[in-house]
Every structure is written in C-alpha cells, then in structure tokens.
Structure 1
Amino acid sequence: MTTATALGYGPQDRLLIVNADDFGLCHSTNLGIERLLVDGIVSSATLMMPCGWAREAAQWSARHPHLDVGVHFTFTSEWDAMKWGPVYRGGSTLSLVTAEGYFQRDVKRFERQADSSEVRCELTAQVEMALALGVNVTHADNHMGSLYGLQLGRHFLKEVFEVCAQYGLPFRLPRYLLLESGQVAPPELAKQAGEMAELADSMGVVVLDYLLGLPFRAASGETYDEMKGQMIAILGNLHPGVSEIILHPSLVTDELNAFHGAPARRGMEMELFRDPDIRRKIQSEGIIPVRWRDLRDLQRRS
C-alpha cells in the first residue's frame, strides 16, 4: 500500500506536494515564500525555527492558517556570515553546538557528537515554539537531512517519530527511495528506507511515498532553462503514490547575497512552478496536487 491509496486514491494515481524549504531563513526568503504560498504556486513551506527571521515567518503563518506551514527541524548552521543555534532553554544542548554556541556547520559533525536526548528536547522545543507563535503546524521535515544518518549511519528518526506522533504531524521520509536520476535506489538502500518507513508506521506517523528535488549542488554556470528541463523530467517520471518536490526559493537581494553561496539559484527556484511550461507539464501528466494537511488529517484520523 502507498500513502496515496491510504488517502483514497487509485493505485496508479500520481499525487504531488511542492514544498518551499527554509522559511524564516532571512527576510528576503520570507517575502519570496509568502508570495508563492498566497499565489498557490507551492503547496506548503517549512519553518527554520532557530533562525533570526523565523518569528516574522511564524507570525505571518499564524495570520494565514489556511496555508500549509510545517517545521523544518534544524540542527545545522551552514553559512559563515549568518549563524543560529538551539531554541531549547530547559537544559543542556552542549552536544548540539560548537564552542561558539551555534549548531555544527555540517551533518557529519552533528551525527558524531549529538546526544539523542538533547536532540529530542530540541525537536520538541522547535515544534512548541511554532505553536506558541500561532502556527497551524501541518507537518515536519529536516534541514540538510541531518536526522537521517546519511553521513555516518547514525540517525535520530526514532526521536523524530516520537515527537511527530506526540503532535500528530506527518514527516518527510520516503517509503521508496529514489536516486537523483529518478531511478529506484539499490536494494540495500531501498531496504533501509523501507525499514524506516515501517518504524514510522508502527509509531503512527504518516510518511511520503517518494521524495524528489533538483540536484543539491548546481553545475557550474547552470542556467534557468537547464534547471527547468531537469524539473520537467522529474515531473514526467513521477511514480504512482505521493511525491514531494523540494524547492529553496527566495527573492535575490543584497541581504541574500551577503551570506548565501548560490543566491541566483534560489532566485531561479522562485520562478520554476510559475513557469507556464511547468504548469502545462503537471496538467498534461494528470498529476494530482495534494497538501500536507491531507496527510495530517489521515494521521490524526488513524
């Protein structure tokens, strides 16, 4: 069974969620994502609660409870010129931070040092902070994949599922793992993904069928047309089930240019799902748009 069939769709139906990550990262990103949400260009967004502009994004989300906004569980701080750290204040977070008190720059250091009990406290604090600011939290996912054990094999998904079960939130985890090419992953990796999905099932947390996105690192000199071609290919190769496509959109401003390593790419991602060619592709393929709150409703009914 797929998550799509659990939602009541047919076994060959292809359902799609388009999520804008990194809401709250900075003012420019907030303005861009807000515009995409209001215009219905993206299905949802996820908030980085530790970031300096998270409060602005959360307060805006509280004023727009009909739009889907989740929590982007954040445990890394990757840029040199702008940093953030834990929001949990009820005890130690020493295993999560550098000597300066910020989150680790990369996932490998986080996996190596993080204490699972401190991770769970921080997960809870990030959800509680969003709720306290009035966000109608629809789901959760993870910044930079830090909780999946992708670098050293040390994942924190049990803690994630405990928190998601407690708050009735579905989580970004693919039941069926695909490579960046869209092909099914090798058996060993596919088996690991299936086992994690089974753990989510056993704890009552609804997950995706597939997770997709553009390559994490852009090719040198990448153009908008090249990016659009990649996205059209992704849409043309969707598998039956619920797929999520991840975007990282933002307005490109002096603020973004001041700290971000690839600001132009974020500007191009702002335009992708506005593009008439992309919209025609979704329609011609018969792809059905769904929302994270549909998955949340399924989880809470169950």
Structure 2
Amino acid sequence: MNLAQKLGYSEGDKLLLVNADDYGLCHSVNQAVESLLTEGTVSSATVMMPCGWSSEAASWSASHPEYDVGVHLTFTSEWDAYKWGPVTSDGDVSSLVAETGYFHKTSQEFEERAESVHVKRELVSQIERAIKLGMKPTHADNHMGSLYGLRTGKHFMPEVLDVCASYGLPFRLPRYLNAEQGVAPKEMEEQARAIAALADAKGVVILDYLVGLPFQLQEGESYDSFKSDMKALLGSLKPGVTELIIHPSIVTDELEAFHFEPAKRGMEYDIFRDRDIQEELGKQGVKLIRWRELQALQRRQQA
C-alpha cells in the first residue's frame, strides 16, 4: 500500500501539498501567508521561530487552529541587513553561530561547523517555542535545506527524525528524488533511500516527492513566464504525495529593505490565487491535500 492509499486516496491519485515557507520572517510575509491560508489557495505554512515576526505568526496560528501551520526549522541567517540566531537559552549551541552570535550565513558553513548535540537541542527549542506560543504544529520542514547535507554530505537527519517522532510531526523529506523538478541533486539518491528507510523505522511520515521552481528571479523572467513554468510543473506531477514550496510575500518597503528577491516573492504570492493556475490543477487532476492528513496517519501508526 502506497502513501496515497494509506491516506485514503487511490493509488494513482496526484496529491499536492502547497506550503508557504518563511512564515514569521517579517510582517509582509505574514500578511501574505495568512491571506493565502484563509483563501484556501495553499495547503499550509511553516514558521521560522528564530525570526523577529514569528510571535505574530504563532499567535495568528494559535487563534486559527483550522489552518495547517508547522515549524520551519531554521539554522541559517542569510540576509545582511536582517539577522537572527538560536532560540535556545538554557544550553550550549555555540557551534550553530558565527562570531557575531547569529546563525551562520550559508548552509555549507552550518554543515561544516554544527555539532549534532547542539542541532538537536535547538530543534527541540524551536518546536517548544511554537507550542508555548499556542501553536499546534502539523508538520516540520527546514529552511534553506541546511539539515539535509546538500552542500557537504554531512546531514542531521537522525536528530531531525528523532525529534519529529517524539512530537508526532511528519517531515518534509522526499522518498524519491526527481532531479528535473526537485531541490536535491541526483547523486544523493542513495543517501535519500537510506534516510527514507530511517524515517520509516522511526515512524515519521514523509513525502513521495518534493518540487519547486527557482527561488530567485531568473534572467528575463516575468509573471507570465513564471506562470507558464508553474503550469508545466503541475502538468509533470506524478501519482503520489508531492509538496511544492513557495515563499509568498506582499511586496512592501519592509521586504525591499532586506530581501534580495522581493519581486519573485510577490509573484509567488499571486501564483496560486491565479484563476489560470486553479484551473490547471483541475485540468491535471491534482488534488490539494493538507499536512494534518499526514500527521493523523503518523499518529495512528505510532499508536
């Protein structure tokens, strides 16, 4: 029985989770994410607990438990004008920060320097902060892919899966790599299989596929070309459970003050509100599902 069948769907169904990453990054992002969740044009969102506007996001989620909101496990701080660091206040996480006291800027720096005991401590701290702020997280994922070992091969999946198992959270991890659509290189297929087996052993529900379009504005890219690319992506989805990542925001002075890609963030805010994209989902027979369905499956299997 495949994942779709375990969730109560047919073996050949194309099931899609559209997740709005970076909730809590800033007020402009929060406004966009909350609008999309309320409209039902995305499946879910995940909060960056170390960021300055995470409290607003967590408070909104606590007041609106009908929407699926998880934790965007964050271990990098990539912008120059806006920085953040660990939320852990009662233990050593020194390997997670640069000399400035903020998280490392890149995933490669994080992978090279982070110690697993510090990573696990901060994982727990970020989830605990979400819970203490009133959230009931439905899932977890990872900002900038820092925990997967994409840059150096040094990953932290055992720690992530242990924590997700203990909190009953399914995790953004693709069972199958789809190099032409995905966010991981083909040479990681063997490692992906091993980590998927580890997730199964620990009882953590994971995805079949993970896809997304480039996060940066491409040369000559317009909203129309972005929409065309999104239609092509939706048309190429395979049967099973796929997550598609977007990073929506309202484009404001706040966003433009620190973000390198404000125009692309605005496109990603508009894309699933677009009637053409909504019609394409129907045309392709794609069914939008929710992370809480995966969470319910995980908790049934763990019972």
| TM-score class, shorter | over 0.9
Q: Distance in 2 between matches of 1:213 and 1:137?
A: 23
Q: Which runs of 5+ in 1 are unaligned?
A: none
* Map 1:71-220 → 2, pairs under 5 A: 71-181=71-181, 186=186, 188-220=187-219
Deviation at 1:166, TM superposition (A): 0.4
SS in 2 for 1:71: strand
Give the equivalent residue in structure 2 for 1:241.
240
Q: Distance in 2 between matches of 1:55 and 1:87?
A: 12
Conserved 8 A contact 2:181-2:212: no
Deviation at 1:7, TM superposition (A): 1.2
* Amino acid corresponding to residue 123 of structure 1 in structure 2: L
* Amino acid corresponding to residue 21 of structure 1 in structure 2: D
Change (3 A) 1:255 1:163: same
Conserved 8 A contact 2:76-2:144: yes
Q: Distance in 2 between matches of 1:227 and 1:2?
A: 32
SS in 2 for 1:215: coil
Q: Distance in 2 between matches of 1:4 and 1:215?
A: 27
Deviation at 1:296, TM superposition (A): 0.2
User: Structure 1 residue 67 and structure 2 residue 60: aligned?
Assistant: no
Give the equivalent residue in structure 2 for 1:53.
53
* Amino acid corresponding to residue 268 of structure 2 in structure 1: E
Over aligned residue pairs, what C-alpha RMSD do you find? 1.4
Change (3 A) 1:182 1:83: closer
Deviation at 1:104, TM superposition (A): 0.4
Deviation at 1:5, TM superposition (A): 2.2
Deviation at 1:121, TM superposition (A): 0.4
Q: Distance in 1 between matches of 2:215 and 2:248?
A: 13
Deviation at 1:11, TM superposition (A): 1.7
* Amino acid corresponding to residue 46 of structure 2 in structure 1: T
Deviation at 1:240, TM superposition (A): 0.7
SS in 1 for 2:173: strand
Q: Kindly provide the CA deviation profile for residues 96-140 of structure 1, in whole angstroms up to 9, marking residues without a partner as x.
A: 001110000000000000010000000000000000001110000
Q: Distance in 2 between matches of 1:122 and 1:184?
A: 24
- Count of paired positions: 301
User: Structure 1 residue 39 and structure 2 residue 39: aligned?
Assistant: yes
SS in 2 for 1:49: coil
Query: Normalized against structure 2, the TM-score is what?
Result: 0.97
Q: Kindly provide the CA deviation profile for residues 167-198 of structure 1, in whole angstroms up to 9, marking residues without a partner as x.
A: 00000000001124469974x53222121111
Deviation at 1:235, TM superposition (A): 0.5
SS in 2 for 1:256: helix
Query: Normalized against structure 1, the TM-score is what?
Result: 0.97
Q: Distance in 2 between matches of 1:104 and 1:3?
A: 36
Aligned residues: percent identity?
Answer: 59
SS in 1 for 2:60: helix
Q: Distance in 2 between matches of 1:247 and 1:62?
A: 22
Conserved 8 A contact 2:13-2:239: yes
* Amino acid corresponding to residue 124 of structure 1 in structure 2: V
Change (3 A) 1:180 1:249: farther
Deviation at 1:9, TM superposition (A): 1.9
Deviation at 1:284, TM superposition (A): 1.1
Conserved 8 A contact 1:22-1:48: yes
Change (3 A) 1:13 1:185: farther
* Amino acid corresponding to residue 243 of structure 1 in structure 2: T
* Amino acid corresponding to residue 104 of structure 2 in structure 1: Q
* Amino acid corresponding to residue 54 of structure 2 in structure 1: A
